[in-house]
Amino acid sequence: QSALTQPASVSGSPGQSITISCSGTSSDLSVYNYVSWYQQHPGKAPKLIIYDVSSRPSGVSNRFSGSKSGNTASLTISGLQAEDEADYYCSSYTGSSTLVFGGGTKVTVL
């Protein structure tokens, strides 16, 4: 159960768009559309912001969008805001009745 691969950090200026990648293998991301993204502010519990690759839970800003191509999923944050500064984690079902998270990406708003 190797972790999915995310960049350690991504930064952008307010109003810009940024994209966080999440790379998996032929056993997880490329096979299943059970990809989720979580936002975690310091000292807080994670919050679900994208599920099933590209669906948004009720109440989550439409500035967050998800996609997938092959064995790589992506989270795009458009119109970057100061409150978006947080850690972001992707996750994927692996097909062996387990789930794997990415290593996390720290988003900095410049």
Partner 1 sequence: QVQLVESGGGLVKPGTSLRLSCAASGYTFSDFYMTWIRQAPGKGLEWVSYISSFDNTIYYADSVKGRFTISRDDARNSLYLQMNNLRAEDTAIYYCARIEGNWNFDYWGQGTLVTVSS
Residue ranges in contact with partner 1 by CB under 8 A? 1, 3, 33-34, 36, 38, 40, 45-48, 51-52, 57, 89, 91, 93, 97-104
Sign of the CA dihedral 11, 14, 16, 21?
A: positive
Q: Which is nearer to partner 1, 1 or 108 (CB)?
A: 1
CB of 85 to partner 1, least distance (A): 17
CB of 64 to partner 1, least distance (A): 14
In the structure, how many helices (H) and strands (E) does the chain have?
0, 9
CB of 68 to partner 1, least distance (A): 14
Q: Which is nearer to partner 1, 8 or 82 (CB)?
A: 8
Token readout for 41 is 């502010």
Q: Which is nearer to partner 1, 74 or 79 (CB)?
A: 74
Strand, coil or helix: what is 72? strand
- DSSP codes, 27-45: TTTTT---EEEEEE-TTS-
